[in-house]
């Protein structure tokens, strides 16, 4: 999966790089599945980060 030291911003930047390659048709058919898998992992990481931040904010607001 993703490195534990990866930040949300780094994950988003990597997703944007992958999408950029696909939009410019620079993605090789040989690496397409790998890129999609990596993007899926990064999206899951970002969702988890957002969920954690949302939970923390809700906890603070409920005090």
pLDDT digits (tens, 9 = 90+) for 13-23: 999 999 998 88
Taking alpha carbons only, the member of 6, 52, 21 closest to residue 42 is 6
**Per-residue confidence band for 50, with pLDDT thresholds at 50, 70 and 90:** very high
Q: For the packed helices 8-23 and 32-61, what is the interaxial angle rounded to 10 degrees?
A: 150
The overall average pLDDT reported for the chain is 90
**Per-residue confidence band for 37, with pLDDT thresholds at 50, 70 and 90:** very high
CA-CA-CA-CA dihedral for 50, 55, 60, 63, to nearest 10:
160
Q: What is the pTM of this model?
A: 0.82
Asked, for residue 3, whether it belongs to a domain, the answer is: no
Asked, for residue 25, whether it belongs to a domain, the answer is: yes
Asked, for residue 36, whether it belongs to a domain, the answer is: yes
Asked, for residue 21, whether it belongs to a domain, the answer is: yes
Task: Give me the domain span that covers residue 16.
Answer: 8-61
Whether residue 1 is predicted with pLDDT greater than 80 in this model: the reply is no
């Amino acid at each position: 999966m993703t490195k534990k030291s990866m930040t949300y911003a780094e994950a988003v930047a990597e997703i944007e790089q992958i999408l950029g390659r696909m939009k410019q048709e620079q993605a090789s058919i040989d690496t397409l599945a790998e890129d999609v898998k990596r993007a899926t992992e990064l999206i899951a990481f970002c969702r988890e980060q957002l969920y954690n931040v949302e939970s923390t904010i809700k906890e603070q607001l409920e005090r």
